[in-house]
Structure 1
């Protein structure tokens, strides 16, 4: 019991105290579904005397869960989870008796606290812990000595959680996680009148699932390519009017999409033909994440554009880089909104 409580406390401490950069995180309500494999631990069966006590071994089983919660935009998530686990009995060893049959299942309601670690690589690890109640049914437990119990009980329960999520869209994540689940305080009435057994139900669970976060925007349409440069007039003393180009980025990314590279190829061609005095490269972000992080992200986007233009023959000395973060949205939104049109870099050639 002490070891189990220590594991729970450690999981909560790791989730709450880990020092990671304040990257852009999802915010809003969500629902999650999951199913997977249950690998049970052996359970003690403590009867009134040593002669009536023993140990229960289980077969692997299955589990399913549904949860609803809220992501707070800073990595922290809180949720209410309903889960079901089902396992068969492989053996019940008591003095003078072997073999065993029956099944065990647990219906649990858990309040979970989790923390998502966003390292900007697409895959987001998370840690968490939960506490709640579980109704555990010991169905028709028996061995070669006869019937042992056919009863159920409600125990307090806890679990530790470790997993990772991969976003397949702005609002859908695939999840894979491990859970250590324990309902440590069961009292089961025996098949023989007047007898009872103290027991527990503990297992390791691996679950594959999906999580949907409400309120995320639809995927942005592909940005329209800038028009081809007009034929250049005969050289005159007057400098051509400034030309603007826009490239867009995926959520929380600074890498260039093929569409963005196509626009930058046109910008590089314009810069080479006009030999501009200066090229202003200004990065912007949407309003998801902290101001400090978004300033850094907008500069990374500006630097990615400048590096690509330089690779196309535009001298770096002709470029002036600036980062506006979320301060100048193309489309006004509420704080925390993921607006695709605001994830951009403006290139002005003058």
Structure 2
């Protein structure tokens, strides 16, 4: 009888929500991102690896906040005809501030949702060469955008969490083109 009571008490204690200790954290993510550009002429996309680094604070009450930097795949292009050659590249970067809410469904497994405010930059350089002339063109623009996040964290230890998530970011309108990204990522969060 005592063993049954002890078992019930241990089961009840294990099912209680764990209150995480507050603290600073750093997170590294490897993401696959699809950056889509839409304008009057149609749409194009740039798919590829997008590493992300975040520094944040876990407030200990299921609320976190973080600042992140993401570098997206550089788009390179080149076109040659019998008369001329054009080539260039476009870089995409984003810095953002995110707020997260961790759902306390299990001490080790915590789904989360979040919102993000980002400062997004597009930097393009284009070079044109022909037999009679050469020219270059640069374009650099920064816009503010918004995003939504969702995912799940798995606590390996009290200070190490494996993270799998999805992130949508609306970058804003760059001249006549609207940009947004869909990202799937995996990463590691370490709390100090």
- Say whether the fold is shared (TM-score over 0.5): yes
Q: Which residue of 2 aligns with 1:314?
A: none
Higher CA-based Rg: 1
Q: Which residue of 2 aligns with 1:203?
A: 181
Query: Which blocks of at least 5 consecutive residues in structure 2 are unaligned?
Result: 1-15, 78-86, 129-134
Aligned residue-pair number: 163
- The answer to whether residue 74 in structure 2 is matched with residue 79 in structure 1 is no
Matches within 5 A, 1:1-350: 23-44=18-39, 54-86=41-73, 88=75, 103-120=89-106, 122-140=108-126, 150-187=138-175, 198-214=176-192
Distance 1:139 1:125, change over 3 A: farther
Please give the per-residue CA displacement for 1:275-321, whole angstroms capped at 9, x wherever unaligned: xxxxxxxxxxxxxxxxxxxxxxxxxxxxxxxxxxxxxxxxxxxxxxx
Distance 1:141 1:63, change over 3 A: farther
Distance 1:76 1:70 in 2: 9
- Indicate the structure with greater helix content: 1
Please give the per-residue CA displacement for 1:203-243, whole angstroms capped at 9, x wherever unaligned: 101111110111xxxxxxxxxxxxxxxxxxxxxxxxxxxxx
Please give the per-residue CA displacement for 1:137-161, whole angstroms capped at 9, x wherever unaligned: 244499xxxx9x7412001122211
TM-fit CA distance, 1:32: 0.8
TM-fit CA distance, 1:164: 0.7
Distance 1:139 1:56 in 2: 20
Distance 2:89 2:183 in 1: 17
Distance 1:199 1:211, change over 3 A: same
Query: Which blocks of at least 5 consecutive residues in structure 1 are unaligned?
Result: 1-20, 45-52, 91-100, 188-197, 215-350
Q: Is the 8 A contact 1:123 1:166 kept in 2?
A: yes
Distance 1:102 1:38, change over 3 A: farther
Distance 1:152 1:59, change over 3 A: same
Partner secondary structure for residue 59 of structure 1 = strand
Q: Is the 8 A contact 1:108 1:133 kept in 2?
A: yes
Partner secondary structure for residue 60 of structure 1 = strand
TM-fit CA distance, 1:89: 7.1
Q: Is the 8 A contact 2:108 2:156 kept in 1?
A: no
Flag as ranges the 4+ runs of structure 1 deviating above 3 A.
87-90, 101-104, 138-142
Please give the per-residue CA displacement for 1:44-103, whole angstroms capped at 9, x wherever unaligned: 1xxxxxxxx52341231221111111111110001111111125379xxxxxxxxxx865
